[in-house]
A and B are shown apart, each in its own frame.
Chain A
Amino acid sequence: MSGTVADIPAASFPPARSTRAATRFLRHRLAVAGVVVVVLLIAACAIGPMLSPYGPLTIDLRRRFQAPLAGPHWLGSDQLGRDLLVRLLMAGRISLTVGFVAMGISTAVGVLVGLLAGFYRGWIGTALMRLVDAVLCFPSIFLLLTLAALVSPSLATITLIIALTAWMEVARVVQGQVIALRERDFAVAAEAIGASDGYIMLRELLPNIMAPIIVAATLNVARAILAESYISYLGYGIQPPTASWGNMLNNAQEYLESAPWLALLPGAVITLAVTSFNFIGDGLRDALDPRGDRSA
């Protein structure tokens, strides 16, 4: 599904510009590598577990703590003799799903808040943006963990919590763009011919700010995967026996001496996935917004 990431903006640009954007993206080698890695990861997580003789919960106490490449389990086995590779792939399904769904929700909320705050600049806009500032005052992990402790942990609630702590930056980006664009001729013209507020926001302004939204959304996938790994590692996220990349590391610290691969491999996969999404986001920023802010 991510193989088409580079093509998404095509819909919002005339062909010539989108071709140029695609060319620029393809020149960003690390971003292309990121797309390849993400596609491979998704394919492996989707298909891999079906090809393996082991199930993610198949316990085999005779083969506990098998080291990687030292027996039938390719990437080794854990304290219950479960196959680490299959568990990594099954966990990938969960973690990537959380990442994409949380991105979708947080982007939608962020865009909505940003549009409203930028369009209605009076007290509504001020109140919304102050709310954004206030939520950003809370260090994200503190907020995530508090919320996670208050609800019963499930895939849906964890995803929602992660989304609810990640919409603020999108809102800021969108608000800034809307303020800049709504005084431009095309928006003023739409207003003059009597278009409704909703029409101007969704049909005139939104298509023109898709580029920064797509970039922010891509980076949000990376952040959501990281956030899931943090709260699951700390025991408040996805609960066992369902495996996620984060909760696989949950008690890996105990076995750091005897079975280090249990800690090293899941973390390496998280890093790989998150790095890929970050590079894709970086490449998209260069491709979609060549004169944009590249300071960080």
Chain B
Amino acid sequence: MTRFVLHRIGQSLLLLLLVSMIGFALLHLAPGGPLAQFALTPGMSQEAMQRIAHQMGLDQPLPAQYWQWLRRLLVGDWGRSYRDSQPVLWVIGSHLGATLELMASSTLLAMILGTGVGVLGAIRRYSLADYAAMVGAMVALSIPTFWFGLVMIYVFSVRLAWLPAGNIATAGDGSLLDYARHLIQPCVVLALVTVATWSRYMRASMLEVINQDYVRTARAKGLRQLQVLVHHSLRNALLPMITVAGVQLPILLSGALVTETVFTWPGMGRLFLDSLGYRDYPVVMGLLIFSAILVLAGNLIADLLYVVADPRIRLT
């Protein structure tokens, strides 16, 4: 067990190193490289540029540059935003909350709906509802998220005028109800893909469990169907979903970026697009690496949780 945990953590650190190398390579592909912001300053002479390049260590060989960059990365010095000179980590941190709220609420919604649909599909296999759910899931996976957002806005904001079309809150109105009204649409839009994926995995996982001996034994003992379903089948069928949740994380982050853009939700995704528009490369690269680290950490936690949650797994 300890060995597995250590091995898994070591593996993640190795991946982190690779991720940082990819990030570093991309940073140097950016036009002008790390010097871009100074090149735009008027009256900047060639000599001054070279001096700055020397100060920033850009005249050193690439491996040395990478090593310095990595050291700064590890101590939390991610550079400063071109736009407002704030530290990159601080800028990311100030937008993280909104994204996490959106992701958490939509994941919760998706898990509840997805579990329900998946379980129903498994116990009523090949029924009309099961087919409808499977086709629906496939269509849901094929809809461009941003377009689904536009359709939602058209129906619920433009036509019915029930919900606000964007933003996180009405200015001057700090009530929870107002926040909830703003959250509904982006939450549902972001949940769409997750519901589809979750229900498909849930159905498969449930089908596997339903045919196990201990479920038949539970039925044979004369337990009520619902009790067998919840206590014997569902609990075990949910276990592999921990891994699914981890694997879904990058897709969820991608979805959040698009959803936040459509609904002008002030999170990490919008920050990313804004920074891209301003060519604010330190923030863009910071967000790119930050999201990759988030995914890495999410997968690691999911793997460790799975071992804790499922005592049948004996790792050496």
Contacts and interface: CB of A to CB of B under 8 A. Distances in A.
Interface of A: 30, 130-131, 133-143, 145-147, 149-150, 222, 226, 229-230, 233-234, 236, 246, 249, 252-253, 256-257, 260, 263-264, 266-267, 270-271, 274-275, 278-279, 282, 294-296
B175 to A, nearest CB: 27
A142 B18 CA distance: 17
A233 B146 contact: yes
Interface stretch (B133-141, B177-185, B308-316): B133-141
B246 to A, nearest CB: 12
A141 B150 contact: no
Interface string B18-61: 11011000100111000000000000000000000000000000
A294 B200 CA distance: 10
Return the 7 tightest CB-CB contacts between A and B, nearest first. A267-B147, A134-B18, A295-B204, A274-B142, A141-B254, A139-B253, A275-B142
Contact of A296 (B19, B142, B197, B279): B197
Contacts of B26: 146-147, 150
B204 A139 contact: no
A296 B138 contact: no
B154 A256 contact: yes
Interface string B136-162: 001101111111101101100010000
Nearest to A229: B144
A137 B262 contact: no
B288 interface: yes
A142 B254 contact: yes
B204 A141 contact: no
Contacts of B272: 142, 145
Contacts of A263: 147, 150-151, 154
A283 to B, nearest CB: 11
A166 to B, nearest CB: 13
A149 B254 contact: no
Given A138-B22, A294-B204, A275 B258 contact: no
Given A142-B291, A252-B150, A256-B158, A134 B15 contact: yes
Nearest to A293: B204
A131 B18 contact: yes
Given A130-B15, A150-B31, A271-B143, A140 B254 contact: yes
Contacts of B279: 149
A264 B18 contact: no
29 contacts: A134-B21, A136-B250, A139-B250, A139-B292, A140-B254, A142-B254, A142-B291, A145-B273, A149-B276, A149-B284, A222-B142, A226-B144, A230-B146, A233-B144, A234-B261, A249-B146, A253-B262, A256-B153, A256-B154, A256-B158, A260-B158, A263-B150, A264-B150, A264-B154, A267-B148, A275-B138, A278-B141, A294-B204, A296-B204
Contacts of A146: 26, 276, 284-285, 288
Nearest to B139: A275
B251 interface: yes
Interface in B219-272: 250-251, 253-254, 257-258, 261-262, 272
B15 to A, nearest CB: 5
Contacts, number: 142
A295 B137 CA distance: 13
Contact of B291 (A139, A236, A257): A139
A88 to B, nearest CB: 14
Nearest to A262: B150
Contact of B292 (A131, A137, A229, A233): A137
Which residue of A229, A230, A236 has the most chain B CB atoms within 10 A of its CB atom? A230
B295 interface: yes
Interface in B188-204: 197, 200-201, 204
Given A135-B22, A234-B261, A270 B276 contact: no
A249 B258 CA distance: 13
B275 to A, nearest CB: 10
Interface in B268-310: 272-273, 276, 279, 284-285, 287-288, 291-293, 295-296
A228 to B, nearest CB: 10
B274 to A, nearest CB: 11
B22 to A, nearest CB: 6
A211 B261 CA distance: 38
A237 to B, nearest CB: 12
Contacts of B145: 230
A271 B138 contact: no
B14 interface: yes
B106 to A, nearest CB: 15
A257 B291 CA distance: 35
A171 B226 CA distance: 43
B12 to A, nearest CB: 10
Interface in B112-147: 135, 138-139, 141-147
Nearest to A140: B254
Contacts of B250: 136-140
